[in-house]
Amino acid sequence: MLNKEIFLALDELEKESRIPKQLMLEAIEAGLVSAFKKEYGFTTQIAVRINEVKGDVKVYAHRLIVDEVTDEDKEISLEDAQDIDPTKKVGDILLQDITPEEFSRIATQTARQVILQRITDIKRDMVVSEMSERTGEILSAIVRRKEGETVYVEITGSQMEGILMKSDQLPNEKYNVNDVIKVYIKKIRGNDYGAQVIVSRSAPGFVRRLFELEVPEIRAGLVKIENCVREPGERTKIAIRSDDPNVDALGSCIGNKGTRINAILAELGGNEKVDIVIYSPDPVYYICNALSPSPVNNVFINYETKQARVIVPDEKLSLAIGRRGQNARLAAKLTGWKIDVRPMSSFQLAAVEDAAEDANDGE
């Protein structure tokens, strides 16, 4: 007999873990099957049934009804079967009650191990199912502990544990236990021991989702995000467009007096620069916009190699290239074009040399 308190405990566990009680009962049944087979050495198919109303457990052996028994574990004679159920005939399967008085300590340990493993598997499957549906979203989380440079968070409202690895953290950002932070659900990583929710604050998707949350026009589809590239903690470039001429895409993202962009910058720690770039299907205009905040004089493109030579004012060369080449590098990633930035003086010099060469050739 199972104590009524066990079922009450399962009700509480269902509320806390969100694992359906029926799945837990199935896990207990599977554990008892393993325990019974270990205890009695049965090789036949065993079924365990738990009656929640009566609080009892029954163990049944599946036996094939035959004229002549050759394997007592798996077969039963027609005569013996009809003593139990007169309606049975040869070829039927008889569920024979073989419920023992009690299990040994070893068998009980076996049952416990199987039950715990089944519940672990159920939890893993629930994590994978629930979080897979939320991949790419931003959720609130509470910092629960730190192990070395890895931060473990509890995703609010789900009791799911998220892992924020060093590479997914913002540079110079400190995380303290009980801090409430926003995290981007990056991916679900499954293994033999469970499932891990990998979260991030450094992924480009984190900034993309911040814009979607802060800008109603993006959520409504009036403004679209074409691409987003990022060097976390330093600079992000995000390309936007609107197919409606009455919608100011740039103004929508900035907000009244910069309220929307300022909220995004604050979430990024206040140090990261965000360039909002207007997308254009014309690569010349797109590349010019992508090199913001630097002005551009000329763009020469090669469609076959997808390379672009960009001419900028001499005094703006360092701005166009950016510190350690960052601005030009992000512009190239954003547009998908290889960008070679040159100062106007070198372009003019090259033009003079070409003209002189043409003149010499003509003499």
If DSSP codes are grouped into helix, strand and coil, which group holds residue 208?
A: helix
Give the Cα separation of 280 and 286 in Å (integer).
Answer: 5
Tens-place pLDDT, residues 58-67: 788 788 888 8
Give the pLDDT of residue 353.
Answer: 43
Asked if residue 355 has pLDDT above 80, the reply is no
Residue recorded with tokens 């036996």: 63
The structural domains of the chain, ordered by start, are 4-129 (3.30.1480.10), 134-200 (2.40.50.140), 203-279 (3.30.300.20), 288-363 (3.30.300.20)
Asked if residue 116 has pLDDT above 50, the reply is yes
Q: Cα separations (Å) of 5 from 54, 101, 234?
A: 13, 20, 57
Answer yes or no: pTM beyond 0.75: no
Asked if residue 3 has pLDDT above 60, the reply is no
Q: Which of 22-36, 79-93, 96-110, 225-239 has the lowest mean pLDDT?
A: 96-110
Residues 94-122, buried b or exposed e (16+ Cβ, 10 A)? bebeeeeeebeeebeebbeebbeebbeeb
In contact, 141 and 183? CB cutoff 8 Å: yes
Asked if residue 119 has pLDDT above 80, the reply is no
Asked if residue 339 has pLDDT above 50, the reply is yes
DSSP conformational letter for 170: P
Give the pLDDT of residue 282.
Answer: 96
Tens-place pLDDT, residues 201-251: 999 999 999 999 999 999 999 999 999 999 999 999 999 999 999 999 999
The candidate with the shortest Cα–Cα distance to 239, out of 194, 278, 265, 289, is: 278
Q: Is the dihedral of CA 115, 118, 124, 127 positive or negative?
A: negative
Asked if residue 199 has pLDDT above 70, the reply is yes
If DSSP codes are grouped into helix, strand and coil, which group holds residue 107?
A: helix
Give the pLDDT of residue 10.
Answer: 67
Asked if residue 46 has pLDDT above 90, the reply is no
Q: Which two tokens stand for residue 255?
A: 């907000």
In contact, 48 and 78? CB cutoff 8 Å: no
In the chain the beta strands, taken as DSSP E runs, fall at 46-51, 56-66, 75-77, 93-97, 138-147, 150-155, 160-164, 180-191, 194-200, 224-231, 235-241, 273-278, 298-302, 307-312, 338-343
